[in-house]
Structure 1
Amino acid sequence: MMDVTPLASLMPGQAGVISELHGDDSLRVRLMEMGLIRGETVHVLKYAPLGDPVELDIAGYHLSIRKGDAQRILVSPTGQPAR
């Protein structure tokens, strides 16, 4: 079994493959509508100066989400550098 970690624990420059989305139905639907779906690779680009929100690169576009939401996204780290 692969190790999974919350997306919020990755550092800028790290990437992971989404394995699970936690939270209520409305949160999961909102995240999926933004492209955060199981099997997609997400790259952490940077955190805002106070740590929230986090800027991501997924499927070729940039997306910012709250750190609390990033805690609910479990990823398998890939070791790939951010684009």
Structure 2
Amino acid sequence: MVALSALHPGERGVVVALAGGRGLLSRMMALGFTPGAEVTIVQNFGHGPLIALVRDTRVALGRGEAARIRVRRKA
């Protein structure tokens, strides 16, 4: 299990867990980051925000937010 922020562009993962307070969890779930959801990294420069594709929607996330989403890498 790794943080979403650790994935590189083109890599895919499956959401396993979310960490954070009620507000952050509510926001992430509203954006589609729910356990079992498949995520593909579109852009990640290693600093600043990253762009992920989740449930056919591109979502920009701050690094702190992305670090709280735990995923299992998918081959």
Which structure is larger by alpha-carbon Rg, 1 or 2?
1
1:12 paired residue number: 9
After the TM superposition, list the runs of 4 or more consecutive aligned residues in structure 1 that deviate by more than 6 angstroms: none
Match of 2:58 among 48, 52, 62: 62
The percentage of counterpart residues that share the same residue type is 27
CA distance in 1, matches of 2:18, 2:48: 19
Q: TM-score, normalised by structure 1?
A: 0.85
Deviation at 1:52, TM superposition (A): 1.4
Aligned to 1:27: 24
Query: What one-letter code is carried by the residue in structure 2 that aligns with 1:36?
Result: F
Whole-angstrom distance in 1 between the partners of 2:16 and 2:44? 22
Structure 2: where are the runs of 5+ without partners?
none
CA–CA separation in structure 2 for the residues paired with 1:9 and 1:15: 11
Displacement, 1:33? 0.5
Give the AA of the match of 2:29: M
